[in-house]
Amino acid sequence: MKDQLKPISTAFTRLMGCDFPIIAGPMFLVSNEALVSEVSNAGGVGGVPSLNWRTSEEFTQAIKRIKQKTQKPYAVNLIVNKANPRVEADLDVCVSEKVPMVITSLGNPKEVIEKVHSYGGKVFCDVVDLKYALKVQELGCDGVIAVSTGAGGHAGPVSPLVLIPYLKSKLKIPVVAAGGIATGRQVLAAIVLGADAVQIGTLFIASNEAGVSAEYKDAIIKAEPEDIVLTRRISGTPAAVIKTPYIEKVGLEIGFLENLLLKNQTTKKYMKMVLAVIGQKALEKAAHTTTWKNVWSAGQGVGFIHEVLPASEILNNLVQEYWEARGAL
């Protein structure tokens, strides 16, 4: 076991000072202090969105507690577009607490990069295509997270078989593969394609530490890849969720009026904010209570998830499977 769990050295692990190139993806409502610290202490990088706490003050206290639980690198996700009124305050928290890694989503990360670099932190940016990846590289980010098809939440449109090597051939910074990864063999495949690390979300929903209901975790275990559908009803942007009776009932597309308001330059920003708030409320209710209105975010990696385990054991299994797959080639 010791030999199988030897460190996996990549540009990412050398940059972040971790043992394994595996990020537990920051997931809305799912990631928490326990999940972050367990993954980081086990040698990966635990991630959490700042918006998992209701206020910036609560977020500050959570980061302080995470720092008490682990001295290893961890990550915070910031949504940096105008729909997030807390971005400035939460960024200030990251700076004051010297968060080792910040992952940005949706928007211009320029200010985040400048402020996080001021104390030596690293910034990785979610991307789904080369155009945006080149922009954030030019702004000085330390790496990109290539979100491809198969991912939970807001999945990208391009196959990982294409997106990872394509970005790697065009960029000078590390590329992290995200989307559908739930086994060590897939971690190896991503690295063979050129990835410097992987970001895994759905697998860690089925962890002891994940802050969601037992029903949500059970749904992850029972779901098959074919049960994952893309819906615009959550935020106006296609998001991957488990197909439940409620999702089938309401459909996958937003209404005519909502769509019209999203296309109008004057109302687009406000409509996105309204849909984001409505979507967050739906996800929050389903994550913690069981109702017939279940909206459970998940990626296509559900097909490989069969039980709920401690987060550290999930990470260890991934690493063991990685070395076994590599040795079998």
pLDDT digits (tens, 9 = 90+) for 80-104: 987 788 999 999 999 999 999 999 9
Confidence of residue 261 (pLDDT cuts 50, 70, 90): very low
Whether residue 69 has pLDDT greater than 60: yes
- Average pLDDT (25-29) is 92
Distance, first Cα to last Cα, the chain: 19
Closest CA to 91 of 81, 103, 78, 101: 78
Each domain of the chain, given as residue ranges in start order, spans 11-211+306-328, 214-300
109/160 Cα distance (integer angstroms): 24
Whether residue 289 has pLDDT greater than 60: no
Please give the pLDDT value at position 187: 98
Query: Whole-number mean pLDDT of the chain?
Result: 87
* Tokens matching residue 127: 């991307």
For residue range 293-320, list pLDDT tens digits in order: 577 889 999 999 999 999 999 999 999 9
Confidence of residue 273 (pLDDT cuts 50, 70, 90): low
Residue with tokens 């945006």: 132
Confidence of residue 2 (pLDDT cuts 50, 70, 90): very low
Please give the pLDDT value at position 271: 46
Classify residue 6 as left (phi > 0), alpha (psi -120 to 50) or beta. Answer: beta
Q: For the domain bounded by 11-211+306-328, which CATH number is listed?
A: 3.20.20.70
- CB–CB of 264/189 below 8 Å? no
Query: Which of 89-93, 144-148, 222-226, 273-277 has the lowest average pLDDT?
Result: 273-277
Confidence of residue 272 (pLDDT cuts 50, 70, 90): low
* Tokens matching residue 101: 């890694």
- CB–CB of 240/66 below 8 Å? no
48/28 Cα distance (integer angstroms): 8
* Tokens matching residue 65: 């507690």
For residue range 216-258, list pLDDT tens digits in order: 999 999 999 999 998 876 655 678 899 887 777 666 555 444 4
Please give the pLDDT value at position 3: 47
Please give the pLDDT value at position 286: 44
Helix ranges (DSSP H) in the chain: 11-16, 33-41, 56-69, 87-96, 110-117, 130-139, 160-170, 184-192, 202-205, 214-222, 245-250, 256-263, 268-288, 311-328
**% of the chain beyond a pLDDT of 90:** 72
- CB–CB of 100/122 below 8 Å? yes
21/43 Cα distance (integer angstroms): 9
What value does the CA radius of gyration of the chain take, rounded to a whole number of Å?
Answer: 19
Strand 228-231 with 239-242, pairing: antiparallel
20/126 Cα distance (integer angstroms): 20
What is the pTM assigned to this prediction? 0.86
Please give the pLDDT value at position 256: 44
